[in-house]
Amino acid sequence: MVPFFVQIKCQLGKSYEVANRLADAEIASEIYSTAGEFDLLVKVYVDGGTDIGHFVNEKIQVIPGIQDTRTIITFKAF
């Protein structure tokens, strides 16, 4: 399994709704509310052959209330 993170900027007043939709879709390992430029930080695991760009585009960015995303691909956990 390959982990990556997605920072999500939500439309005003939609953070909890987006977080609940992500949880209901069961695509995220962990979902955190954050302060700053982005509202949510989502940790996702996918199979090694999965195209992360397509996954984010087709599974995350289509959720109503999401305004913007930033994907962070990691290399190694210490």
Q: pLDDT averaged over consecutive 10-residue blocks of the chain (78 residues)?
A: 97 98 97 98 96 97 98 93
Q: b/e map of 37-74 (b: 16 or more CB within 10 Å)? A: ebbbbbebebeeeeeeeebbeebbeebebbeebebeee
The three-state secondary structure class of 58 is helix
Indicate whether 78 belongs to any domain: no
For residue 57, give its domain range.
2-73
Measured distance CA(8)–CA(68) in Å, rounded: 6
- 57 CA to centre of own chain: 10
pLDDT in the model for residue 6: 98
Phi, psi for 47 (deg, rounded to 5) = -65, 155
Number of domains in the chain: 1
pLDDT in the model for residue 77: 87
| CATH number, residue 36 | 3.30.70.920
Q: Give bridge partners of residue 66 from the DSSP assignment.
A: 10
Indicate whether 58 belongs to any domain: yes
